[in-house]
C-alpha cells in the first residue's frame, strides 16, 4: 500500500520536474495526480487565511485595548475627518484647527495608528460598545482552526455566541447605564444606546428589564439544556493542546521528503526538492479512502416485551460512578464516541435520515424505544465512570536531537558513484538513479537501461553488497510493481525517530483507526501508522538488543495516547519480569487480570495458561453477546449498545478492546508448548471480530517457537535485526532481516508486502512519565476482571468435569428449560430465569460439563444433547446421586 503511494508520489515529482526519463503515466492515474494539486493550493490558502484571522485578532486586541485609553484624543479626528479616505490618506484634508491640534498632540494616539483608531471607533463607539471585544476571540478561534486544523471551539458555535454577545451585552450595559448619570458613553455603542431608548419607550424600564432577564434565561436554557441539575463539564483531551500542534507543524516540516535524482551522464545531483506535497498526497489518500464510515446496522432481535431501563449501568465496572440522571449527556457522549470511531462522522445513527423518497423503513418498537431513550438520556457514554480522565500529553515524550536526516550531498554522491561503478564493472548500464533519504537508510532506486535483465542484477546481489561493503545493505530486485531495482544503503548518521515527532503529526492525531499504532517512519521519511484492529494480530521477533522492547513500548504508548481506559484493556505477559513492569502503575486504568490474582502483569507460566483460557471464555461470551445483538463485530455491537438498543439487564455491556501482549514468547513455548499454543491459535483465529488482539514478541524466532499454526494465524509480522537468514525466513518467509542495522531498524510484513521502517524510539523514562501521569489519576476500583477459569488440567480426559456439589441452584431448572426449548443458549437461560449474564454463562458451562449441551460453536447455539425431559430427569437424578 505504501509502495503504491510512494510510487505515485515519486512519479508525481518526476512529472513536476519534467524528467525526460519517466514514462508518461497512464490516463487513469493522471486523475489521481491532479487532485492533490488542488489540495495543496487549497490547504495553503486556508493556512494563509488562518494566519490572517489571527492577525486580525491581534490587531483588534491591541487597537481595542488602546482605545480604552486613547479614545478621547483620537475621537475628534475620526469624527471630524470629512471622508473616510481622507482620514487615511493625508491630514491635509483635515480642518485647519484640527490639523494644528493633531500636530500639537503628536498625531493619532491609538497604538495601532490610524487604522486602529478608525476601526476601534467604528466597532466600539459606533456599533457595539465594549461587546466588540468578542471579535478578538472570534477571529482567534477561526484563525487557530484554519491554521492548525484544530478545533478549540466549534466555529459555528463561536459565531452564534459572538452574535449573542454583540446583540445582548450592549443592551444590558445601556440598560444599566440609563440609571447611572456619568457613565462612559462608548460602553454600549450606538446600537446599545439607541435600541435601549426604543425599548424603554416601547416597554418601559421594567419591561425592558424583564425582557433582558428573559433573554438571559433563554440563553442559559439554550446552551445548557433544560435540566437544572449539575452541568457537565466538557471533556477535552490534552492531545489537542496548542503545544501539541506546534509540534505538529514542526513534524510537518520534518516530514519534508528529500529526494535527489542523479543523471548518470552529468553525475550531478539536481537540486533537492521540497516535499510538503508528498505529505499532502498521503493525506489526500487517507481522507479519500480512510474515512469511510458505515452507516447504521440492520435489523435486530430484541425482546420487545422487556423495556430497557433508562440507565444502562452495565459495563465492566457496572457504573459505580454513574450519576442517576445525565442531562447534557448526548453531546459529549457522541463527541467522545465519534472520536473513538464507534459512531459515524455524521452523528447519531438513530436519527440518521435517508434521502430516498421511494423507500422508507418503519422503525420497530425497539428502535423507537431506543430512540426515545437516547432522546431522553443521550447516548450511553462508556467513559463516564472516569469522565475526568486526562490523556497523556506530548510533553511527556522526549525530542531526540534533530530529527532531520543528515545525509550530505557528498555521502550521496559517493554511494551513487560506488553503485554506478560496481554495476558498470558487471556490464550493467543504468538509465537513471534516484535517491530517497530515509531516517536510517537511503534507497537508491535504479532504472536499468533497456535490455538489461533484472535477473542479472539479482544474481549479482552479493557482489554488489560486497563492493559497497556496508552493513545493512539490502537489495530489492525488482521493487514489487515498479520494475526498478532498489538498493538500501545505511546512512552514516542515522536519525533517531522520536515518538514525539511521530505522534505530533496530523496523520497520527487524526488517524481514523480503531487501534492506531505509530510504528515509526518509512524509507521516504513518512510517518507510518497501522491499525492493530485490522492487522489483526502481530508477531514481533528480533535478536536481543535490536529494539524489540522499544517496539512494544511504541505500540503500547500509541494506544495509550488514543484510547480511554473504558475503551481498551491490556493483558500483559512478561516472563522476563522486567520489561513491562512499568505498566503496573496503570493497572486499575488499563490492565485486565484474572479474578483474585494479585499482579496484573503475568510472569508465571501456569497463570499465563489460565489467562489465555480465560480470554478464550471471554471470547466465547462476547460471541454470544454479538449473536444476541445480531451484529457481526465489536464495532457494530458497541455502536448499538451506545444507542441504547441493547438491554444491559440481558447481560449486554460496553465491550472494551483487549490487547494481549506477550513479551517473551519463546520462554512460554519452551515450558508449556501445546498448552500455550492451542489457546493462542484459537484466539488468533477467532478473536478478531470481538476485539481481542494479540501481540507476541520473541527473541528466538526458531521454528519450534514460531510454529506453523502460530505463523498461519499471524499475517502481520515485524522483524528487527536477526542473526541469520534462516531466522529471517522463519519470521518473514523472506530474507532481509539479517541485513538490518539494529537500533529499531525493522521490516514489517503484512502478508504481501515487506516494508522497511525505522521504529519510533520511546525510552524507559518516557514510559515512566506516561504511566506516572495516568497512574496518578482517578482509577477504577480494580483492574478489569476477566472471566474465571478453573484449571482442570489434573483431570484425565481433559474435558471439563462436572462438579455436582458446586452446581448452581438454578442448574436443574436451566437444564429443563434448555431441553424443553432444544436450544442451548445463554441468553435463553438469562431471559427466562432472569439471571445475570455471568451466572447464566456459568450454568451453561455446567450444563456442558454434565453432558446436557454440546460445546460452544461460535455463532451457532450449542447443541442440546438430551432429547426429551424424561431422559433429562433421569440424568438429573444420576447427577444428584
Ligand X SMILES: Nc1ncnc2c1ncn2[C@@H]1O[C@H](COP(=O)(O)OP(=O)(O)OP(=O)(O)O)[C@@H](O)[C@H]1O
Q: Name the binding residues for ATP.
A: 542-549
Q: Which is nearer to ligand X, 363 or 578 (CB)?
A: 578
Q: Are 758 and 744 in contact (CB under 8 A)?
A: yes
Stretch that binds ligand X, among 337-345, 543-551, 621-629, 818-826 (CB under 6 A): 543-551
Considering the rule CB under 6 A, would residue 662 count as an interface residue with ligand X? no
500 scored as a contact of ligand X (CB under 6 A):
no
Beta-carbon contacts of 68 under 8 Å, excluding residues fewer than 6 positions away, are none
Nearer to ligand X, 111 or 400 (CB): 400
Describe the crossing of helices 811-821 and 837-849 by its angle, rounded to 10 degrees.
80
Q: Stretches 52-60, 281-289, 548-556, 866-874: which one binds ligand X (CB under 6 A)?
A: 548-556
Residue ranges in 477-496 that form contacts with ligand X under rule CB under 6 A: 496
Contact by Cβ (8 Å): 56, 293: no
> From the CB of 254, what's the least distance to ligand X, in Å?
15
CB of 120 to ligand X, least distance (A): 54
Binder among 30, 544, 776, 793 for ligand X (CB under 6 A): 544
Binding range to ligand X, per CB under 6 A, among 446-454, 546-554, 711-719, 728-736 = 546-554
Instruction: Give the nearest distance from C-beta 565 to ligand X in angstroms.
Output: 26
Among 628, 621, 641, residue whose Cα is nearest residue 692: 621
Does the protein bind ligand X through residue 136 (CB under 6 A)? no
Closest approach, Cβ 699 to ligand X, in A, equals 5
Nearest distance, CB of residue 560 and ligand X, angstroms: 18
Binding residues: 542-549
Burial 586-602 (b: 16+ CB within 10 A, else e): bbbbbbbbbeeeebbbb
Least CB distance to ligand X at residue 576 (A): 7
The CA distance from 378 to 359, in Å, is 28
Q: Which of 550, 572, 710, 748 binds ligand X (CB under 6 A)?
A: 550
Nearer to ligand X, 761 or 815 (CB): 761
Return the SS3 of 427: coil
Shortest distance, CB of residue 737 to ligand X, whole angstroms?
Answer: 13
Contact residue for ligand X among 282, 442, 549, 830 (CB under 6 A): 549
Least CB distance to ligand X at residue 748 (A):
13
How many CB atoms sit inside 10 A of residue 820's CB?
13
For position 546 contacting ligand X by CB under 6 A, the verdict is yes
Among 412, 658, 692, 761, binds ligand X (CB under 6 A): 761
Nearby residues of 116 by Cβ (< 8 Å), 6 or more positions away: 59, 62, 63, 66, 67, 110
**2: how many CB neighbours lie within 10 A of its CB?**
17
Piece in contact with ligand X (CB under 6 A), picked from 88-96, 380-388, 452-460, 537-545 = 537-545
The least CB distance from residue 498 to ligand X, in Å, is 9
Q: Which is nearer to ligand X, 129 or 575 (CB)?
A: 575
Nearer to ligand X, 189 or 542 (CB): 542
Asked if 862 is part of the footprint of ligand X (rule: CB under 6 A), the reply reads: no
Map residues 719-738 to x or -, x wherever contact with ligand X holds by CB under 6 A: --------------------
Q: Is 545 in the site for ligand X (CB under 6 A)?
A: yes
| Residue reference for cell 432472569 | 834
The answer to whether 547 contacts ligand X (rule: CB under 6 A) is yes
CA distance 616 to 680: 9
H/E segment holding residue 520: strand 516-522
The HSE-up count of residue 863 (CA atoms within 13 Å, CB side) is: 7
Measured from the CB atom, the residue of 378 and 438 that comes closer to ligand X is 438
Task: Give Cα 167 distance to the centre of its chain.
Answer: 40
Interface region with ligand X, contact rule CB under 6 A, candidates 201-209, 262-270, 455-463, 538-546? 538-546
Cβ nearer to ligand X, comparing 94 with 580: 580
The reply to whether 330 sits near ligand X by the rule CB under 6 A is no
Q: How many Cα atoms occupy the beta-carbon half-sphere of 318 within 13 Å?
A: 8
DSSP state of 577: S
Give 397's Cβ-side CA count (13 Å radius). 27
Nearer to ligand X, 212 or 523 (CB): 523
Provide the minimum distance between the beta carbon of 276 and ligand X in the complex, in angstroms, as a whole number: 25
Euclidean distance between CA atoms 188 and 127, whole angstroms: 8
Report d(CA 837, CA 858) in Å as an integer.
17
The verdict on 743 binding ligand X (CB under 6 A) reads yes
Give the binding range for ligand X (CB under 6 A) out of 11-19, 443-451, 540-548, 632-640.
540-548
What are 517's strand-pairing partners? Answer: 530
**Minimum CB distance to ligand X, residue 400 (Å):** 8
User: Under the criterion CB under 6 A, does residue 836 sit at the interface with ligand X?
Assistant: no
Q: Are 716 and 519 in contact (CB under 8 A)?
A: no
Q: State yes or no: residue 649 binds ligand X (CB under 6 A).
A: no
Cell of 697: 514478541
Restricting to residues 600-639, which ones interact with ligand X according to CB under 6 A?
Answer: none
Identity of the residue, 132 or 699, whose beta carbon is nearer to ligand X in the bound complex: 699
Total residues at the site for ligand X (CB under 6 A)?
Answer: 14
Q: Which single residue brings its beta carbon nearest to ligand X?
A: 744
If we measure between CA atoms, which residue out of 504, 502, 468 comes closest to residue 487?
A: 468
Looking up cell 563492493 gives 467
> Which residues are registered as beta bridge partners of 670?
none
Residues 6+ apart with CB under 8 A from 410: none
Placement of cell 485609553 in the chain: 69
From the list 196-204, 463-471, 545-553, 770-778, the region that binds ligand X by CB under 6 A is: 545-553
Q: What are 118-122's contacts with CB under 8 Å, separation 24+?
A: 118/78, 118/84, 118/87, 118/88, 119/60, 119/63, 120/63, 120/64, 120/66, 120/67, 120/71, 121/67, 121/71, 121/74, 121/75, 121/78
Q: Between 516 and 547, name the residue whose CB sits nearer to ligand X.
A: 547
| 384/550 with CB nearer ligand X | 550
Element (H, E) at 571: strand 568-573
Nearest to 666 by CA among 696, 692, 698: 698
Q: Exposed, middle or buried, 164 (CB in 10 Å: 0-12/13-18/19+)?
A: middle
- With residue 718 as reference, give the H or E element that holds it: strand 716-719
State the nearest-atom distance from the C-beta of 600 to ligand X, in Å: 21
Selected binder of ligand X within 332, 744, 775, 787 (CB under 6 A) = 744
Q: What residues have CB less than 8 Å from 70, skipping those under 6 apart?
A: 109, 110, 111, 117
State in angstroms the smallest separation of the CB of 553 from ligand X.
8
The nearer residue to ligand X, 64 or 761, going by C-beta atoms, is: 761
| Relative orientation angle of helices 605-629 and 826-833, to the nearest 10 degrees | 70
Stretch that binds ligand X, among 208-216, 541-549, 618-626, 839-847 (CB under 6 A): 541-549
Work out how close the CB of 779 gets to ligand X at its nearest, in angstroms, rounded to a whole number. Answer: 28
Quick one: 280 or 442, whose CB is closer to ligand X? Answer: 442
Query: Could you say which of 196, 387, 643, 699 contacts ligand X (CB under 6 A)?
Result: 699
Minimal distance, residue 770 CB to ligand X, in Å: 17
759 forms part of the interface with ligand X (CB under 6 A) = yes
Using CB under 6 A as the binding rule, whether residue 402 contacts ligand X is answered as no
Point out which residues bind ligand X (CB under 6 A): 496, 542, 544-550, 699, 743-744, 759, 761
Amino acid at each position: 500500500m505504501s509502495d503504491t503511494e510512494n510510487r505515485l508520489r515519486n512519479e508525481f515529482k518526476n512529472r513536476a520536474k519534467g524528467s525526460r526519463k519517466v514514462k508518461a503515466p497512464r490516463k487513469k492515474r493522471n486523475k489521481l495526480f491532479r487532485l492533490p494539486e488542488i489540495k495543496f493550493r487549497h490547504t495553503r490558502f486556508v493556512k494563509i487565511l488562518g494566519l490572517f484571522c489571527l492577525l486580525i485578532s491581534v490587531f483588534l486586541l491591541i487597537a481595542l485595548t488602546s482605545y480604552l485609553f486613547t479614545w478621547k484624543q483620537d475621537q475628534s479626528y475620526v469624527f471630524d475627518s470629512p471622508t473616510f479616505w481622507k482620514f487615511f490618506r493625508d491630514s491635509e484634508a483635515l480642518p485647519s484647527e484640527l490639523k494644528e491640534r493633531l500636530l500639537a498632540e503628536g498625531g493619532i494616539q491609538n497604538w495601532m495608528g490610524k487604522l486602529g483608531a478608525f476601526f476601534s471607533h467604528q466597532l466600539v463607539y459606533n456599533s457595539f460598545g465594549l461587546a466588540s471585544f468578542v471579535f478578538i476571540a472570534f477571529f482567534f478561534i477561526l484563525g487557530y482552526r484554519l491554521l492548525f486544523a484544530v478545533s478549540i471551539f466549534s466555529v459555528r458555535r463561536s459565531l452564534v455566541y459572538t452574535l449573542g454577545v454583540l446583540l445582548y451585552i450592549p443592551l444590558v450595559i445601556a440598560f444599566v447605564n440609563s440609571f447611572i448619570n456619568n457613565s462612559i458613553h462608548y460602553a454600549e455603542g450606538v446600537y446599545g444606546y439607541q435600541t435601549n431608548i426604543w425599548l424603554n419607550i416601547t416597554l418601559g424600564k421594567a419591561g425592558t428589564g424583564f425582557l433582558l432577564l428573559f433573554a438571559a434565561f433563554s440563553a442559559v436554557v439554550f446552551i445548557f439544556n433544560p435540566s437544572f441539575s449539575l452541568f457537565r463539564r466538557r471533556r477535552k483531551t490534552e492531545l489537542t493542546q496548542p503545544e501539541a500542534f506546534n509540534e505538529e507543524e514542526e513534524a510537518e516540516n520534518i516530514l519534508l521528503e528529500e529526494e535527489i535524482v542523479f543523471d548518470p551522464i552529468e553525475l550531478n545531483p539536481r537540486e533537492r526538492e521540497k516535499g510538503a506535497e508528498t505529505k499532502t498526497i498521503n493525506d489526500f489518500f487517507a481522507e479519500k479512502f480512510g474515512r469511510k464510515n458505515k452507516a447504521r446496522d440492520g435489523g435486530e432481535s430484541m425482546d420487545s416485551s422487556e423495556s430497557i431501563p433508562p440507565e444502562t449501568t452495565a459495563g465492566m465496572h457496572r457504573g459505580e460512578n454513574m450519576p442517576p440522571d445525565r442531562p447534557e449527556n448526548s453531546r459529549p457522549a457522541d463527541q467522545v464516541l465519534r472520536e473513538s470511531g464507534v459512531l459515524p462522522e455524521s452523528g447519531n445513527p438513530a436519527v440518521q435520515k435517508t434521502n430516498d423518497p421511494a423507500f422508507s423503513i418503519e422503525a420497530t418498537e425497539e428502535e423507537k424505544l431506543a430512540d426515545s431513550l437516547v432522546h431522553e438520556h443521550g447516548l450511553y457514554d462508556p467513559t463516564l465512570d472516569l469522565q475526568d480522565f486526562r490523556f497523556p500529553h506530548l510533553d511527556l515524550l522526549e525530542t531526540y536531537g534533530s530529527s532531520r536526516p543528515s545525509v550530505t550531498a557528498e555521502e550521496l554522491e559517493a554511494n551513487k558513484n560506488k553503485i554506478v561503478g560496481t554495476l558498470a564493472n558487471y556490464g550493467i548500464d543504468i538509465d537513471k538513479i534516484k535517491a530517497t533519504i530515509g531516517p536510517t537508510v537511503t534507497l537508491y532506486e535504479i532504472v536499468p537501461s533497456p535490455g538489461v535483465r533484472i535477473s542479472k542484477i539479482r544474481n549479482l546481489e552479493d557482489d554488489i553488497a560486497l563492493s559497497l561493503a556496508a552493513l545493512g545493505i539490502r537489495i530489492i530486485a525488482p521493487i514489487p510493481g515498479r520494475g526498478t531495482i532498489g538498493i538500501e544503503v545505511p546512512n552514516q548518521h542515522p536519525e533517531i525517530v522520536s515518538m514525539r515527532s511521530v505522534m505530533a503529526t496530523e496523520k497520527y492525531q487524526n488517524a481514523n483507526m480503531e487501534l492506531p499504532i505509530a510504528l515509526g517512519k518509512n524509507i521516504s521519511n513518512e510517518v507510518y501508522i497501522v491499525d492493530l484492529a485490522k492487522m489483526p494480530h502481530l508477531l514481533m521477533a528480533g535478536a536481543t538488543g535490536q529494539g524489540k522492547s522499544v517496539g512494544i513500548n511504541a505500540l503500547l504508548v500509541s494506544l495509550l495516547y488514543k484510547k480511554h481506559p473504558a475503551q481498551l484493556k491490556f493483558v500483559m505477559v512478561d516472563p522476563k519480569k522486567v520489561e513491562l513492569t512499568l505498566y503496573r502503575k496503570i493497572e486499575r486504568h488499563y490492565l485486565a487480570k484474572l479474578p483474585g490474582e494479585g499482579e496484573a502483569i503475568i510472569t508465571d507460566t501456569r497463570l499465563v495458561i489460565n489467562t489465555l483460557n480465560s480470554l478464550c471464555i471471554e471470547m466465547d461470551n462476547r460471541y454470544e453477546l454479538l449473536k444476541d445483538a445480531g451484529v457481526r463485530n465489536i464495532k457494530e455491537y458497541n455502536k448499538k449498545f451506545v444507542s441504547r438498543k441493547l438491554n444491559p439487564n440481558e447481560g449486554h455491556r460496553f465491550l472494551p478492546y483487549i490487547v494481549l501482549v506477550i513479551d517473551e514468547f519463546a520462554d512460554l513455548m519452551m515450558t508449556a508448548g501445546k498448552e500455550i499454543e492451542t489457546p493462542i491459535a484459537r484466539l488468533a483465529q477467532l478473536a478478531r471480530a470481538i476485539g481481542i488482539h494479540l501481540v507476541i514478541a520473541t527473541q528466538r524466532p526458531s521454528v519450534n517457537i514460531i510454529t506453523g499454526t502460530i505463523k498461519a494465524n499471524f499475517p502481520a509480522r515485524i522483524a528487527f535485526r536477526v542473526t541469520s537468514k534462516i531466522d529471517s525466513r522463519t519470521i518473514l518467509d523472506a530474507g532481509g532481516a539479517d541485513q538490518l542495522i539494529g537500533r529499531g531498524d525493522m521490516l514489517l510484513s503484512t502478508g504481501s508486502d515487506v516494508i522497511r521502517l525505522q521504529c519510533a524510539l520511546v525510552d524507559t523514562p518516557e514510559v515512566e512519565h506516561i504511566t506516572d501521569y495516568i497512574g496518578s489519576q482517578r482509577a477504577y476500583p480494580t483492574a478489569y476482571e476477566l472471566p474465571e477459569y478453573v484449571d482442570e488440567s489434573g483431570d484425565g480426559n481433559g474435558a471439563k468435569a462436572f462438579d455436582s456439589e458446586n452446581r448452581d441452584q438454578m442448574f436443574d431448572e436451566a437444564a429443563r428449560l434448555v431441553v424443553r426449548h432444544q436450544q442451548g443458549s445463554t441468553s435463553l437461560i438469562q431471559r427466562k430465569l432472569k439471571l445475570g449474564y455471568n451466572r447464566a454463562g456459568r450454568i451453561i458451562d455446567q450444563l456442558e460439563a454434565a453432558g446436557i449441551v454440546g460445546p460452544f460453536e461460535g455463532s451457532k447455539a450449542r447443541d442440546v444433547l438430551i432429547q426429551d425431559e424424561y431422559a433429562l430427569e433421569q440424568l438429573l437424578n444420576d447427577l444428584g446421586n
